[in-house]
Amino acid sequence: MATPGVFFKSITELNRMLVNREVSSRELTEAYLARMEALGPKYNALAALTRKSALDRAKAVDDDLKRKRYRGPLQGIPFGAKDLLAYPGYPTTWGAKPFAGQTFDTKAAAIENLEGKGAVLVAKLAMVELAGAGGYEYAAASLTGPGRNPWNTEHWSGGSSSGSGSAVAAGLVPYALGSETWGSILTPSAFCGVTGLRPTYGYVSRYGAMPLSWTMDKIGPICRSAEDCGLVLQALAGGDSRDRGSAGKSFYYGPQYVGALSRLTVGYNPVDFEQWAEPSTRPAFAAALEALKSLGPRFEVVELPRFPYSGVASTVIDAEGASVFEPLIRDGRVDELADRFQIASLRAALDLKSTDYLRAQRIRAKMQSELTPLFRKLDILITPSLLETANRIDRSLHSSPVRRESPSTRGLTDLGAAGNLLGWPALSIPCGFADGLPVGLQLVTRPFNESRILALGGAFQKQTDWHLRQPSAA
């Protein structure tokens, strides 16, 4: 029988237990189903249990394992999926009341790919309504209520993949699928002290996923470690003619082929860690930087060229999101959403001019031409995943932090907007705590070079234990 000790094990450890017949997939699946059912509501992380299909799949996996039919490291291991990914027989609510009863006959390609490797879906996980389309003011902008952080349930787990972040941090699933258009994998990963990978745009098919911004949407894993993220991406990636944004590329997880870390050149800016970051987080970031430097890479101070990164990202997402959700807005169902700010913003987005959208796309192309050369001399860019810890769930996300004198340089603080606009991959790894809440580092690299950030992130995690920490409440 599965014991409580399994809930925070890595994918590799669980796979070893299954192959050695120390536990069956059915036992593992039943244990995670029970844990999710008992604790998922505590964190507002659960959208729907997929009990019947999970147990059926677990039985099939056990039959395969008895016959030594091995399908890879994910075989027989439970996982969760953000509730914007379609799965037949269960609701796909997009986290929003207007779609509470919505079902699909199709299966999202990301789930399809994982199940093809023998993985077992045990739950659809909560999310911010419509993945945050239009923007929102409160963490409660969700059909299931505000995502609660397992490290302190009075604080937010982060959006919009809130349930995925909470579920992995609390040991409700070994890993989960999230999506990111602008921060929705990295934010819950950093806030909840877990490891999240935003893949290169086009690496993972979005077929069967709710669209928000077809030129920026990406699907990726939230896991316990960089190694786990690499194993999951290997199963997720691949071409798909059903997704017009598909890059048609597969991914092989091989950090050993990156070579010596001393051959890597890392770009960073001290101002991000010493001045932009909230004071309480700075000791953790300083220690994390020293740990990274001790691994041998050469560090070089860099700064992003000046562009209106956030403004361009907002314009692209608002315009494309308004197109996607135009029927919802025009027929009045938008008023059923939980967040008043989001309702108003979605309505306003319909009035965006085509000239504004096209101007944003032209600036985006200019960014591409000026930022791409950064990776001619650099292998990785590093900055805080977020400059602060998770905010309280009852606090407006628009409330101003304590006023401090702004640094004279921007450093790499716009890397979140820039990286998403340009489709760059990023890895968020936990690197310490401030005021009892986790903080994380963001590692970014050029498209289709995930192995570099996974290798450096994995080496950092072999030297530190932040990714092994467990919330006491869980």
Q: Please state whether beta strands 426-434 and 437-444 pair in parallel, antiparallel, or not at all (unpaired).
A: antiparallel
Q: How many CB atoms are located within 10 Å of the residue 417 CB?
A: 21
* Residue 217 zone, left/alpha/beta (φ > 0; ψ -120 to 50; rest): beta
Distances (CA, A) of 157 to 97, 140, 389: 20, 11, 10
**CA–CA gap between residue 175 and residue 227 (Å, rounded):** 12
Residue type, 440: G
**CA–CA gap between residue 39 and residue 28 (Å, rounded):** 16
**CA–CA gap between residue 279 and residue 32 (Å, rounded):** 38
* Cis bond upstream, residue 160 (ω within 30): yes
* Cβ contact 189:440 at 8 Å: yes
Determine the 3-state secondary structure of 438 from DSSP.
strand
Catalytic option among 184, 246, 345, 451: 184
Q: 265: Cβ–Cβ under 8 A, 6 or more apart, which residues?
A: 297, 298, 299, 300, 377, 378, 379, 380
**CA–CA gap between residue 188 and residue 390 (Å, rounded):** 9
Q: Which residue has the tokens 């990164």?
A: 309
| Catalytic residue check, 82 | yes
Three-point CA angle 370, 375, 380, nearest 5°: 125
Cα separation of the two ends of the chain:
20
- Rounded to 10 deg, the angle between the 226-236 and 109-116 helix axes is 100
Distances (CA, A) of 218 to 97, 235, 443: 24, 15, 17
Catalytic option among 82, 117, 124, 218: 82
* Residue 68 zone, left/alpha/beta (φ > 0; ψ -120 to 50; rest): left
DSSP string, 138-150: STT-STT-PPEET
| Catalytic residue check, 218 | no
* Cβ contact 198:219 at 8 Å: no
Catalytic option among 160, 161, 246, 314: 160
State the DSSP H helix or E strand holding residue 222, giving kind and residue range, or none if neither: strand 218-223
| Catalytic residue check, 107 | no
Half-sphere exposure (Cβ direction) of 133: Cα atoms closer than 13 Å = 30
**CA–CA gap between residue 370 and residue 75 (Å, rounded):** 43
Report, as residue numbers or ranges, the catalytic residues: 82, 160, 184
